[in-house]
Amino acid sequence: MSGLVLLSGCGCGKEYDRVVVFADGLVVGGEYQSSPVEGPWLHFPGGRRYRLIHHLGAQPTRYEAYLGFEENDPAEFTIGTGNSARFREVNEEYLVVENDTCAGFYLRVVASAPSDSEDAAGGATAE
């Protein structure tokens, strides 16, 4: 088999060696949002890894990634699942989320940590 070429990965230009630190976002009522639902959402190409500084003062116990196909379209998004939005690390300072695919998206992350009153009540969460 002459002419056989071996390639590693999917060849889509994933940028695993680079972590993008994002310290913006907002905290509203104990909930971190990387951006408002109206946008603009974060550009999230294949292989992108974000370190989102959440400013919650505690490790989030709830966090979720939302993926869209346009930067400012709150009507067209889905919950990030599988390799499209992998949380690699979550601690009291930041969340690391990675797009482990070759597809490009726009990202919005929402996270919350228990308040002092919830800790005192045994971790109960207000709905």
Lowest mean pLDDT across 10-24, 50-64, 67-81: 10-24
- The pTM of this model reads 0.79
Q: Which neighbouring-strand residues pair with 2?
A: none
Q: Which neighbouring-strand residues pair with 119?
A: none
Q: Is 84 helix (H, G, I), strand (E, B) or coil?
A: helix
Cα distance between the two ends of the chain: 62
Fold of 19-113: Immunoglobulin-like (2.60.40)
Residue 87 reports pLDDT greater than 60: yes
Q: Specify the residue for token string 């490790």.
A: 59
pLDDT for the residue 73 = 83
Mean pLDDT, rounded, for 62-80: 91
For residue 17, give both structure tokens: 């060696």
pLDDT for the residue 90 = 97
Encode pLDDT of 19-63 as tens digits.
Answer: 999 999 999 889 999 999 999 999 999 999 999 999 999 999 999
Parse the chain into domains and list their residue ranges.
Answer: 19-113
Of 97, 98, 30, 99, nearest to 60 by C-alpha is 30
Q: Specify the residue for token string 């690699």.
A: 88
Q: Is 67 exposed, middle or buried (0-12, 13-18, 19+ CB in 10 A)?
A: buried
